Structure 1
Amino acid sequence: MKTFKTSLICIFVCVFGSYAQSIQDIIDQVDINTLDLTVREFSGEISTVVDGNTVTIINRQQANNDIAADYLVQKFEQLDNITIIDQPFNANGRNIIATQVGKTNPNDIYIICAHYDTVADYCADDNATGTTAVLEAARILSTQCLDNTIVYALWDEEEIGLRGSQFYADQAFSNGDNILGVLNLDMIGYDGDAPGQPGDNEFDIDYLNLANSSGMKDDIISVLNSYSFDLSVIEVNPGTAASDHASFWFVGNFPNDAYSAVLLGESWETNDETPFYHSSGDRKSTLDMPYFFELTKLVTAYMATVGGLVNVDNGITQTVTTLTADQASASYQWLNCNTDLPISGATSQSYIPSVSGNYAVEITSGNCVELSDCIQFNTLGLDDFLASEVKVFPNPVKTNLSVEITNNIESIALDLYDVSGRLVKQKTNASEIISLNMKSLPQGVYFLKVSSSEKTGTYKIVKE
């Protein structure tokens, strides 16, 4: 299923899209607001919508976590270019596996993984953080062409003996899967320094001298040193076997059949792990979100590197009259995001919309097909509202969103779009303050277009 994202209007010349031609572009797409919302939803701090029902995922213990697993399936279903396997392995256990097949070397497999089960309520650090980082890496990388295959794996029943990952590793070994590396994320959100303040920001990489695990560790550190991260690495050898990476170390005839695998997490080696370990005190409020953000950027950059990011630019440049795909020498198909349908005859690098709307372009270059973000295009060429002229509050919003107009305008039109570019609410009003009821809408990100006869503006809204 394709997911579109609406971008803000630009009157002169702007560049939009998830144009990841480089690892730095990938890093820049990691979104701390998305991480924050997902951790709060998955640890039960706020309710969410799963299969159309409003639920609160307070507990994810292995005999009580089907809703959590359904949430993960739903998250992956929103992405493009992946195949999802809901993998039961005993009466209660369910691994949720999403696979993005490589374009050049489909049999060369890299895994990024985390366990999602718990031993108590909430458990934000252990392991909503690792789970959220895997989802964020999948959200970003699934929009890109990669040479090699990436598996985004979320394990069940880690807390009672690594059962989910052992089942998968044993199957992979029996099938002869060519797994070149397993990056396991377990507890990556706690740092003893005051959240957001300068500190050591240390994290551990646990490894053994098995297969190429040491080489994996070196490659992660190479990525760390090649870009700007506020992190400091602690190398741990021999590393702990008390998490899911160990299932890949001890597969088959140990040590001859071991897969390359490492654990990345907060620094137990320096006694800087959460004091709320394995308790219901492990809440989102105890996390250092900037630290978690940095680690998620690092692991996403590493997976883009070993995945073999293909250099295709899926960005769009917008002028007053025209949308132009930034990638040259390719094939193009422009789409209407509101209908999710291709536009007949719109197959050139540039497209001139005849009506206002949301547009995207599908780019084919060699064996790589990438889809741009949706661009909200206004054919009227109106001026933007000044920041002082429109106030939108509260944001995030739970029930009623207010829009206050500070100058004398006869009439205002509000158009609310979801991230797929679908129009979900409309309202026209002549009042200075307009209220838009969002109570019935699912949690997530929306875009509000505010228009008058002379000006327009688009605002990102977070619905809690």
Structure 2
Amino acid sequence: MKKNLLLVLFIMVSAVSSAQFTVWEDDFDDADASDWILLDKDGNGSNWIARKNIKLDENNAIVDGNASVLGTYNIDLATASPLETLEDNLAISPVLDLSFYSGAVSLILNAQPSAYDSNQELSVYGSTSPDPATFTLIGKIMLERLTIDEPEFKDYSINISQFSGQSTVYIALGNNTTTGFIGYEIDKVSVNAQALLGLDDVASGAAVCKMNQNPVQEYLQLELGEQFQAEEATLKIYNFNGVLVKETPYKKDNLSVSELAQGVYFLLVSDNNRTAKLKFIKK
């Protein structure tokens, strides 16, 4: 029995090193973008909005399509007339925690130029602060449209690995401000990481923090290194799939993990100045 358990754990650890992990995603199916920062930079009252994709009916009036999107439009949605000024809007994502991930990190957009538009260039920015002044351009994606009114949502990918290991990351989407357009529509946005922890990360964590028991059965016994400010330290536990399953302030008392299923877990210990990463087995 013990040999079988060790074999399963070995397979799980091997899989972690080669898997793709979804760090975060938003599909706008709830028509809610309240956790995004939507900036009407030109101040004309038209902005990114969570809604259905646009279509025209037989009377050339705008009606709802079937996809729930985050969109920005250079037309009046009530009259379908072009706006007087060219849109300049910015959609800033909720904060992303990439401190637990290593290797290649990608932003995936399932998006299209709206119906009745042509190919449109979408700018992607990044920052470790939500302040719009701090964002720098990561790259540009050309959203393609081949037909007039058929749905043409496709996956587009851009590398954001420069933010790998950062605990506070914001991604922003901006329309082309130099040419006219009808609309940009984002059906789904996600961030994928190639790996969880590298061996160097785990070794570094073990050098400054000590687990007094591993495998762990009911309580995780952790001793912080002197580099950490114990009163400011927090603990995050991620499961085999990279999902955060527990978060708590550090206490000298042992941390209960009795509710966790058997398997491989990863522990992040962090204060305002330092982060350590450790791997443990729950039995």
Taking structure 1 as the reference length, the TM-score comes to: 0.22
| Structure with a larger share of its residues in strand | 2
* Larger RCO of the pair (alpha carbons < 8 Å, separation 6+): 2
| Structure with a larger share of its residues in helix | 1
